[in-house]
Chain A
Amino acid sequence: MRALVTSCVAFLMLLILAPSSAAAAPPKDSCIACHAELEGKQSEPVKKFDTDVHHQAGLSCADCHGGDPGDESMNAMSRARGFRGAPTKAQTPEFCARCHSDIAYMHRFNPKMRADQLSQYLTSVHGKRLKQGDTKVAACVDCHGVHDILPARDTRSPVHPTNVASTCGRCHADAAHMKGYNIPTDQEEKYRKSVHAELLASGDTSAPTCSTCHGNHGATPPGVSSVANICGTCHVFFAQLFEKSPHQAAFAKMGLPGCVQCHSNHEIVKPSDDWVGTGSSAVCTGCHSAGDKGYVAAQKMAGDLAKVKTFLGRAEEILGTAERSGMEVSSPKVELTTAHEALIKARVNVHSFNDVEVQKQTDQGVEISQKAYQAGVAALAERDVRRKGLGVSLIFILLAISGLYWKIRQIESGSRT
């Protein structure tokens, strides 16, 4: 009897618990269930979607493509159920912008998220050309990928700063793809040789890549007049000096791009002091010729830079010799860093194209270098005095030792006799 009661209670418990267990199971997504079973291209989205940022945020296929993931029949993909299908290339920006332009919706996932990508894109060369029916240009998925989209901060993302040049280069370095656009295809190759690429490769993700200068969604080539502004967003002081310099008006008049005229655009290599002056590597002689005011100023600036470098080198060499001799020269070495700073400031002042401003800094560098050199001379003189002193002391010590030795011999020969 007792066993019967126990069995009944257990059966009732099962009846009560069964519906709640069924309710706890996750809702079935028929898109994933069916596409996972399909072969080839049809199953690709499902395979990739696991790592996608949208999936991570809890979105499903239907959130973009519409349809009814609760329906296991083919009706799930009917227009009646809101199925939108895959967008064409031309439809992609608006397709993504359904959510990405809705700031209220986007802020549910990230309060700092911007929602102006579409409006920016439409101002870009890519966006304008797409509107004109050119489907070879980049739209959202060409840069961000599709179904396996990663956040831009993820180093695997094609739009992470370290991957941007390769992503842009996929089209822009492809001569066949770019045929007909009449623009060069060597930008990526040149950029790879630049100081910017070098910095980025060294792990400095703040170093500029394509999108830093050209913009990302609103990608556009900077015009001649705006080049200095773009470089000046990072190189602020140089831009200010250039703005106040006589070159600013002259360049504008001649239609020359500011910074790019001397530094190039994509292949921005480390500048050298040889660029200033009238030598074979100088960039000044591109416009200035012997006898004109700019030519004379360039010669003067180059001479002043060379002078401070000569004095600095001389001071460094003598302090290095003194240090290797064991002399304590850390103070003049610290002072010499001020001379280095003066040289750096002089190099910056070159962008004012005012030889007097440059000379102010180089004179300061020369003065400090001379003092440091004198400290080095004094240290080496002190070293020589020490060594001479040592020699004299050693002679006295040897004499004392000889005297003691003689005394011992005297005492011991006396005690033997």
Chain B
Amino acid sequence: MNALYRQIRNWLDERFGTGSVEEFLRHKTVPIHRHTLWYYFGGMTLFLFVVQVLTGILLLLYYRPTPEDAFESVQYIVTQVRFGWLIRSVHSWSANLMVLTAFIHMFSVYFLKAYRKPRELTWISGMILLFVVMGFGFSGYLLPWNTLAFFATKVGTEMAGAVPFAGKWMLTFLRGGEEVTGATLTRFFGFHVAVLPGLATVLLAMHLLLVQRLGMSVPPSVEQATAEGRQAPRVMPFFPNFLLRDIIGWYAALGVLGALAAVFPWELGAKADPFAAAPAGIRPEWYFLFMFQTLKLLPAKILFLEGELAGLVGFSLAGAVWVAVPFLDYRAGFGRVTRFFTGLGIFALGFIVVMSALALR
């Protein structure tokens, strides 16, 4: 058996040079310190992404992206297709858990200053991946063509229409016309299963390559303690020690997903009726709530700008600052922790939590 394994390994090595990968994995290590726990959230997000891809492919076998058939096809999946209910619920729950773990991963990277030199591109690719994940959520929400999704998409795309100059164009581009119609559904389906997966694959490859190339970042406090001899540098091999721990986390996530799907199957609601009045309490998915609530609380006019427009400009600027943080906080690259950026992170996290809680009241 061992001889056969060696033969296959040699065969692959001759053609793909897998030996160097093996060599790399053999020597790859993961630092051990009091913040090591946060390293697992990247892998967890990746695992949930894989779950999304697999369940998404299975849903594609039955889903039909037209206003006449979309709702009925999802209804068929959850009532008639064997384990269709499980696949659909896991897909929906996993999407939400993925956004949650992606946010945890992003904030842990931020607070541990893992974005500092030379990992600027890892941070930027990760941030763009987060936006892509939110895009997946926004486009996927409409696909069952139910009442809540229909009106939430209407409200969401209206926000894009408030952008100055390009707003009208963006609204028409997103909706495929003036209103949310079958054209919007087809378009969102295209984004969800072709455009965004393509983008995500490229970005993910780049993100993972950079993580492998640069290794795991060690927080400045740990780095300093090690340099001053207060703490001995400790590492564990990536393969198999860290990977096995990762897999434990993935199994746990699978258990949570199964439990959520079986006990709280994702609701389908009622089929969208474009001519009906919007039901009360329309709101977007939880990860957009902080923006939704902020725009709701803003006054009608801020200086010379419409309140909603000022809010959108504010969020765009905040997003740009957040993406550019490795360059703005360049001192972190020299091991100097700037309190301002730590404070900014605490403020951003607090703002998101408080605004989301207010929206959920």
Contact = CB atoms under 8 A, between A and B. Distances in A.
Interface of A: 326-328, 330-331, 386-387, 389-390, 393-394, 397-398, 400-401, 404-405, 407-408, 411-412
Interface residues of B, number: 25
A375 to B, nearest CB: 10
Interface in B251-285: 251-252, 254-255, 258-259, 262-265, 267-268, 270
B57 interface: no
Contacts, number: 56
A397 B255 contact: yes
Interface string B242-256: 001101100110110
Nearest to B79: A328
Contacts of A404: 244, 247-248, 251
B251 A400 contact: yes
The 5 nearest A-B residue pairs measured at CB? A326-B265, A390-B262, A397-B255, A386-B262, A328-B78
A397 B265 contact: no
B145 to A, nearest CB: 14
A401 B263 contact: no
B118 interface: no
Nearest to A375: B79
B148 to A, nearest CB: 14
Contacts of A326: 263-265, 267
Interface of B: 75, 78-79, 85-86, 236, 240-241, 244-245, 247-248, 251-252, 254-255, 258-259, 262-265, 267-268, 270
B73 to A, nearest CB: 13
A387 B262 contact: yes
Given A326-B267, A401-B252, A389 B244 contact: no
Contact of B258 (A390, A405, A408, A412): A390
B31 to A, nearest CB: 16
A412 B85 CA distance: 41
13 contacts: A326-B267, A327-B265, A330-B75, A330-B270, A386-B85, A389-B262, A390-B259, A393-B255, A397-B258, A398-B255, A404-B247, A404-B248, A412-B236
A387 B241 CA distance: 34
Contacts of B240: 407, 411
A393 B83 CA distance: 14
Given A408-B244, A408-B245, A328 B251 contact: no
Contacts of A407: 240, 244
Nearest to B85: A328
Contact of A393 (B78, B236, B258, B263): B258
Given A328-B85, A404-B247, A412 B265 contact: no
Nearest to A387: B262
